[in-house]
Amino acid sequence: MKKVGVAILGLGVVGSGTYRVLTENHDRIAKSQNLDVQVEAVLEINPERARMLGIEERKITASIAEVVGNPAVDVVVEVIGGIEPAKTFITAALKNGKSVVTANKELISKCWAELETYARRNHVGLYFEASCVGGVPIIRTLTEGMQANNVQSMVGIINGTTNYILSKMSKEGSDYATALRQAQECGFAEADPTADVEGYDASYKIAILSSLALSERVTVSDVFRQGITDVQAVDIRLGAELGYVLKLLAIAKNTEKGVEARVHPAFVSKTHPLASVDGPFNAVLLHGDMVDDIMLYGRGAGSLPTASAVVSDICYAATRSEPWYAPFRNTDDPAEAVKINTNFLSQYYLRLFVSDQKGALSRVAGVLGENGVGIREVLQKGESKDGFATVIFITHQTEENDMSRAIEGLKQLDEVKSVESLIRVEQ
């Protein structure tokens, strides 16, 4: 049986979960993988955390030099998060011939090429299954289950915090502030929720996943990002009346115009596979040219689900005869950049306050038509107030640039008091 020595950097939520999985399921891993995985070192500035888990005193250190210089350590697990000191620690591990397993989506999305260069030079691996969608094995599915396919699209709910908030707003009629507060009280949202609610977390993940799905390096700067902070309860209610559910979607598509990578709120039909994904759960819908649709669903965060993915990578690293590297040219060189399409196609839900006067709707429709926006459906909701009525348009497939020009045109119309909401509709 092969012995594998592991060092864990950080004993927070995921780090302590990883230690628990490695100890409680040690015999299971030994039987199924023929691996004797032992924690040989932990890097922790609060040694009491390690002692409470039953870790031997000799294995506890606050020195990364001690960790990477330990000959008993084969795999270093980084679960600190953020850019620094995680990047420095991972670099040190790779340069010292240790394979690295990380759950750090921000670091991988921003520094993948640099870190992989160190891994290649030292003939060790860099693995990050746990960086995207928690315990759901999305990365292994893309790299080892979809080889026969051109992955044409990927649409996912990959941030549990925002999905919990939007689910609360949908099911209970809560406004955004109330739903956010509930998410924080339940531990699904941080005290500072910016990374989640503004879409940064999802943009890190979709940059990684779209790179693997489309076999092109997509960087975070390539991702169109819009969060949920401007979502209004009235639009969720009106969308439900039209048969829609609102989700924060991460989308990657391979089109004739280039690669699309985007994160934004979007309505999906109540019959869409992602519509029933509620609360903190995540799901990803893949479409391959040969396999058609595949959907993965599960817990996108949490101590043990994420630790499950970490330990999967430890076993993967230990059982490979050669390290795994990105199956495409992994570079940050602008000259090698993939063609990104930001003028993507979508349907739109548009809510306006429009003058309740004869000919007003005709002039609104005229502006939309002049800018290439076709109308699929138009509805007036409720009674007019102060001479203005709530009007909702659902458009046909429209290019983003055309829709932007149309919105600017509508704002110039005397008949339009305000453009209240613009939400994409994904089929």
pLDDT one-digit tens code per residue, 138-151: 999 999 999 999 99
Q: Is the peptide bond between 265 and the residue preceding it cis, with omega within 30 degrees of 0?
A: no
Please determine, for residue 308, whether its predicted confidence score (pLDDT) is greater than 90.
Answer: yes
Note the pLDDT of residue 235: 97
The domain made up of 345-426 has a fold known as Alpha-Beta Plaits (3.30.70)
Q: Give the mean model confidence (pLDDT) for residues 213-217.
A: 92
Q: Is pLDDT above 90 for 61?
A: yes
Residue 335: is its pLDDT beyond 70? Answer: no
Q: Beta strand pairing status for 292-299 and 398-399? A: unpaired
Helices (H) and strands (E) in the chain — how many of each? Answer: 15, 17
Q: Boundaries of CATH 3.40.50.720 in the chain? A: 2-131
pLDDT at position 384 over 90: no
Q: How far apart are CA 222 and CA 262, in angstroms?
A: 8
| pLDDT value at residue 334 | 63
pLDDT in the model for residue 24: 97
CATH topology of domain 2-131: Rossmann fold (3.40.50)
CATH code 3.30.360.10 region(s) in the chain: 139-299
User: Structure tokens of 79?
Assistant: 């679960």
What is the per-residue pLDDT for 1?
94
> If you average pLDDT over residues 340-346, what whole number do you get?
94
DSSP string, 386-398: TTEEEEEEEE-SE
- pLDDT tens-digit readout, 318-330: 999 999 999 988 9
**Residues of the chain by 3-state class (helix, strand, coil), percent to 5:** 40, 30, 30
End-to-end Cα spacing for the chain: 50
- Average pLDDT on 33-49 reads 97
Work out the average pLDDT over 381-409.
Answer: 91
pLDDT value for 337: 73
**Is residue 164 within 8 Å of 174, Cβ to Cβ?**
no
pLDDT, tens digit, 9 for 90 and up, residues 116-167: 999 999 999 999 999 999 999 999 999 999 999 999 999 999 999 999 999 9
Catalytic residue among 98, 205, 247, 253: 205
Q: What is the pLDDT of residue 382?
A: 72
94: CB partners within 8 A, 6+ apart: 100, 115, 118, 119, 122, 124, 126
Residue recorded with tokens 């015999």: 27
Q: What pLDDT score does 257 carry?
A: 93
Averaged pLDDT, 377-392: 86
Look at residue 166 in the predicted model and tell me its pLDDT: 97
| pLDDT of residue 291 exceeding 90 | yes
pLDDT the model gives residue 187? 87
Kindly tell me if the per-residue pLDDT of 381 is higher than 90: no
* Superfamily name and number for 139-299: Dihydrodipicolinate Reductase; domain 2 (3.30.360.10)
> Is the model's pLDDT at 248 over the cut of 90?
yes
Query: What is the mean pLDDT of the segment spanning 166-195?
Result: 94
Residue 333: pLDDT above 80?
Answer: no
How far, in Å, CA of 371 to CA of 363, rounded?
Answer: 13
In this prediction, residues 50-68 reach a mean pLDDT of 97
- Per-residue pLDDT at 107: 98
Backbone phi and psi for residue 84, each to the nearest 5 degrees, phi listed first: -120, 140
Give the pLDDT score at 191.
92
Position 259 pLDDT exceeds 70: yes
Nearest Cα neighbor of 218 from 232, 227, 208, 228 is 208
pTM, entire model: 0.95
Percent of the chain with pLDDT over 90: 92
Closest CA to 423 of 386, 401, 395, 402: 395
For residues 199-230, b (16+ Cβ closer than 10 Å) or e, as one string?
Answer: bbbbbbbbbbbbbbbbbbbbbbebbbbbbbbe
Contact between 302 and 183 (Cβ < 8 Å): no
Rounded-to-integer distance, Cα 23 and Cα 9, Å = 16
Domain with CATH 3.30.70.260 in the chain: 345-426
Mean local confidence (pLDDT), 43-50: 95
Task: Evaluate whether 70 touches 64 at the Cβ level (below 8 Å).
Answer: no
Question: What token pair was written down for 414?
Answer: 């005397």
Angle at 187 (CA atoms; ends 184, 189), nearest 5 degrees = 50
pLDDT of residue 310: 98
Supply 382's token pair: 């409720």
Q: Which of 26-30, 256-260, 298-302, 332-336 has the highest mean pLDDT?
A: 26-30
Is residue 171 among the annotated active site residues?
no
